[in-house]
Amino acid sequence: MKIPPARAETQPRGIAPRPPAAALGLIEAAQELRSELRHLRFKAPVDCVYDPLDYAWPAHAEYLRRYGGGRKRVVFLGMNPGPFGMVQTGVPFGEVAAVRDWLAIDAPIGRPRPEHPRRPVQGFACPRSEVSGRRLWGLFAARFGRPEDFFAGHFVANYCPLAFLEAGGRNLTPDKLRASEAALLFAACDRHLRRLIEILRPEWLVGVGSFAEKRARLSLGDALARISGILHPSPASPAANRGWAGQATRQLETLGVW
């Protein structure tokens, strides 16, 4: 994916600007969600649980600080971190090259405990590319050019910040959890999503994939009138492998989002 260069920072070195009120609200909400989820426990088939809000917090906080300010017209909502995306970078759909080269975020990444031997967290040194993230951020980069122009009216979040791994290292999506465990997890994620919507006050919420759209409808009810969805960019979807960017753009234009 060819990523246009990010605009150079104008803030003098060594001086960290105070985040705008919306970004501060998102940071506080993420910290609250992280604290709440620490108490959850998951049984087999879950073997390891990764929480990027914990070991990758500096990168996630920088994402919120830099791009979470102001009201957003559109919020794109994903399901949960991918093993080569947010798991590695702390940013939703966080394909390494897109986060480092387009979003200009490169922060220290720690290690989850326990860490599955087949799914090590290598941070920005991870050699694997998250295809879903490459497609999503690649579409935004191609359409808007600069991240500042995209985030002037858009934001990208995940419904659930946790990644789940089976004993063999395979990714387990939240919809495959035990019902009792999912109920506690979804209750916390619902509260966080409602808080995010209160802060950003979007006109649209667009679920990236059917799970995110469904959870948004269940979580928000009448709190947001315009909730829709687009095709998920995962390579596991045959439809997404047939020109995902063009299909997603047409969906968004048909809806009136773009």
| Mean pLDDT for the stretch of residues 15-19 | 57
Residue 96 within a domain? yes
Confidence of residue 1 (pLDDT cuts 50, 70, 90): very low
The angle subtended at Cα 32 by Cα 173 and Cα 131, nearest 5°, is: 35
Residue 157 within a domain? yes
Residue 110 has pLDDT above 70, yes or no: yes
User: pLDDT tens digits, residue range 5-15?
Assistant: 444 343 434 44
Contacts of 228 (CB under 8 A, 6+ apart): 204, 205, 206, 207, 213, 255, 257
What total of structural domains would you count in the chain? Answer: 1
Cα dihedral 257, 63, 139, 214 sign: negative
Q: What integer pLDDT is reported at residue 54 of this predicted model?
A: 98
Contacts of 254 (CB under 8 A, 6+ apart): none
Residue 25 within a domain? no
Q: What integer pLDDT is reported at residue 222 of this predicted model?
A: 79
User: pLDDT tens digits, residue range 180-200?
Assistant: 999 999 999 999 999 999 999
Residue 9 within a domain? no
Q: How far apart are CA 192 and CA 33, in angstroms?
A: 7
DSSP secondary structure code for residue 32 in this structure: H
| Mean pLDDT for the stretch of residues 165-180 | 96
Identify residue 106 by its one-letter amino acid code. Answer: D
Would you tell me how many other CB atoms lie within 10 Å of the CB of residue 203?
Answer: 15
Question: What's the domain range around 113?
Answer: 38-255
Q: What integer pLDDT is reported at residue 198 of this predicted model?
A: 96
CATH number of domain containing 51: 3.40.470.10
Token pair, residue 53, equals 């809000």
Task: Return the closest-CA partner of residue 234 out of 175, 189, 173.
Answer: 173
Strands across the sheet containing 226-230? 154-158, 74-78, 204-208, 226-230
Q: What integer pLDDT is reported at residue 11 of this predicted model?
A: 41
User: What pTM value is reported for the model?
Assistant: 0.92
Maximum C-alpha span of the chain: 51
Contact status, residue 107 vs residue 58, Cβ threshold 8 Å:
yes
Percent of the chain with pLDDT over 70: 93
Residue 17 within a domain? no
Burial class (CB in 10 A: 0-12, 13-18, 19+), 136: buried
Q: What integer pLDDT is reported at residue 21 of this predicted model?
A: 87
Residue 103 within a domain? yes
Residue 29 within a domain? no
Task: Return the closest-CA partner of residue 161 out of 235, 11, 231, 59.
Answer: 59
Residue 12 within a domain? no
